[in-house]
Amino acid sequence: MILDFPLILLSVVVFTGAVALCDFIFCICKGEPLLEKKKRPLVIEYARAFFPVLLAVFLIRSFVAQPYRVPTGSLEPTVIPGDFIFVNQFQYGLRFPVWNKKIMSVSEPKRGQIALFYYPVNHAVTFVKRVIGLPGDHISYINKTLYINGKEQKQKYLGTVTRLDDFGQLNTYQKYQEDLMGVKHDIFVRPDMPAHNFYNVVVPKDDYFMMGDNRDDSDDSRYWGPVQRNDFIGRAEFIWMSWKANSAHWYDHIRWDRIGKKL
């Protein structure tokens, strides 16, 4: 089984729920009031106290929204390591966690959206990337420019930025604004990296081609293929917190200017 956070949370909910339910049955059989305030054995006391809270957390996290901390710079400059993003869990349909079974359809992923999904290679890991190709699209990447169904996705040069990558190396990036079929967003490309051109990759039916905005430092569909529709978790809506772990003073840890940034 995949022992990830949703399964651990559901396990605790099921255990506390079963203990509390069993105790309620005892109460009914003995004619005791269900919610009487009295000293109970530790396991029962804790199960009764925590079950409603854990159930609420489980329901909200599974069907409404979840906070997600971005660990890498693959979506830079849009999202940077240490950003906490608010993920809308129902945008791509309501799904029962752990089994990932669809309960209700809401909408399909759209081009340009930043989405959270299960890493196709290992479902215990969650990835966040931008939707580039929709089912049936033809994607080409020539000299670091995207072509979707033969149409060039225009880029506007914004400047040069030097910053540390995920491995602590100082790199120089060229910052561009890409117009992805009307969705304007910033991207990074590294002039020192080869282009890795490809032509006419056809996105299969029910699959999506995902890429990071940090085009030369992103582990994305170019490496492990497209993402199946069923593997989508939710849509990244905005940054609700940004934490700079390596700052010198405690009051510099929070990047206030990034909080509330819409994605």
Partner 1 sequence: MRTISCTLVGLLFLCALLLAAPKKIESPKGMVLPVKTVRSAISADQVHIYHQVPAVAFTRLGDVRVELHFSTLNSEAQNAVFQKAKKLAASIGANGVIINMLLPSDMVGPVLTFMGTAIYIPSAAKRRVQS
Task: Tell me which residues touch partner 1 (CB under 8 A).
Answer: 1-2, 7, 10-11, 14-19, 21-23, 26, 41, 43-44, 47, 98-100, 119-125, 141, 196-201, 219, 221-226
Q: How far apart are the first and last CA of the chain?
A: 33
Return the number of the residue (112 or 225) whose C-beta is nearest partner 1: 225
Minimum distance from CB of 179 to partner 1 (Å)?
Answer: 23
The strand order across the sheet containing 114-118 reads: 65-69, 83-88, 232-242, 114-118, 126-133, 207-211, 227-228
Return the number of the residue (128 or 258) whose C-beta is nearest partner 1: 128
d(CA 128, CA 125): 10
Minimum distance from CB of 73 to partner 1 (Å)?
Answer: 13
Minimum distance from CB of 148 to partner 1 (Å)?
Answer: 15
Return the number of the residue (93 or 225) whose C-beta is nearest partner 1: 225
Calculated CA dihedral for residues 162, 167, 169, 172, nearest 10 degrees: -30
Helix (H) or strand (E) holding 59: helix 42-63
For the chain, what is the total number of helices (H) and then of strands (E)? 3, 16
Please indicate whether residue 39 is annotated as part of the active site. Answer: no
Minimum distance from CB of 172 to partner 1 (Å)?
Answer: 23
- Catalytic annotation, pick one of 37, 105, 110, 129: 129
| Contact of 236 with 87, CB cutoff 8 Å | yes
Return the number of the residue (16 or 88) whose C-beta is nearest partner 1: 16
Minimum distance from CB of 220 to partner 1 (Å)?
Answer: 9
Return the number of the residue (182 or 194) whose C-beta is nearest partner 1: 194
- Catalytic annotation, pick one of 30, 37, 74, 175: 74
3 state SS of 41? coil
Strand partners for 209: 133
Q: How many CA atoms lie within 13 A of 53 on its CB side?
A: 5
Please indicate whether residue 129 is annotated as part of the active site. Answer: yes
What residues act catalytically?
Answer: 74, 129
